[in-house]
Amino acid sequence: MEIEELKEMKPIKFGFYYGTIFGGIAFAFHLLSQYIGFTTNFFYGLIYSFFVLFSLMWVYKKYLSVQEKESGIEFSALMKIGTLFSLTVSFFYLIFTFARIEFIDPNFLNQLEEVMKTSGFSFPQDYSSVIYTTVLVSSFLGDFIGNMFYAFLLALILKNRKF
């Protein structure tokens, strides 16, 4: 995309545009990690967190570099970008979680139920749809809240900065 087109973008569209790009990269990372068995490793989450943090920093820097305001960028504009970026990346994580449950590892929910039973949880047999929905919603919300933490922290640091 050309610089003039980026200058014309509102913060919400900017966050969605780059969230889609980096969300696709994150989706590919999750798929690759699943297939090579890296998802159980401690560094899997750490690498993903650094990826989100540095991609968000890059998006903020890109937005700040195409703006021509002498007074700096407002906190609200950065939060709009960060929120849409986080929503989009988390949506890609939700798609990955769905694909993992449905196609990649169909035994995932059964393994989760076994772990819950050994931990002392007991529930009727017809709760599998509740567990399915809970896993999807909690994966999306957990990822979104983590991403928003980075967005908020970076927006506080970068507000009213001139680049």
What is the per-residue pLDDT for 57?
Answer: 95
Confidence of residue 19 (pLDDT cuts 50, 70, 90): very high
CA 68, CA 163: separation in Å to the nearest integer? 9
What is the per-residue pLDDT for 151?
Answer: 97
Confidence of residue 159 (pLDDT cuts 50, 70, 90): confident
What is the per-residue pLDDT for 163?
Answer: 54
Residues 6+ positions from 123 with CB-CB distance below 8 Å: 116, 130
CA 11, CA 63: separation in Å to the nearest integer? 8
Name the token pair of 59: 């998006």
Confidence of residue 70 (pLDDT cuts 50, 70, 90): low
Q: If you average pLDDT over residues 31-50, what whole number do you get?
A: 94
pLDDT at 84 > cutoff 90: yes
CA 32, CA 38: separation in Å to the nearest integer? 8
pLDDT at 68 > cutoff 80: no
Confidence of residue 4 (pLDDT cuts 50, 70, 90): confident
Say if CB 108 and CB 101 are below 8 A apart: yes
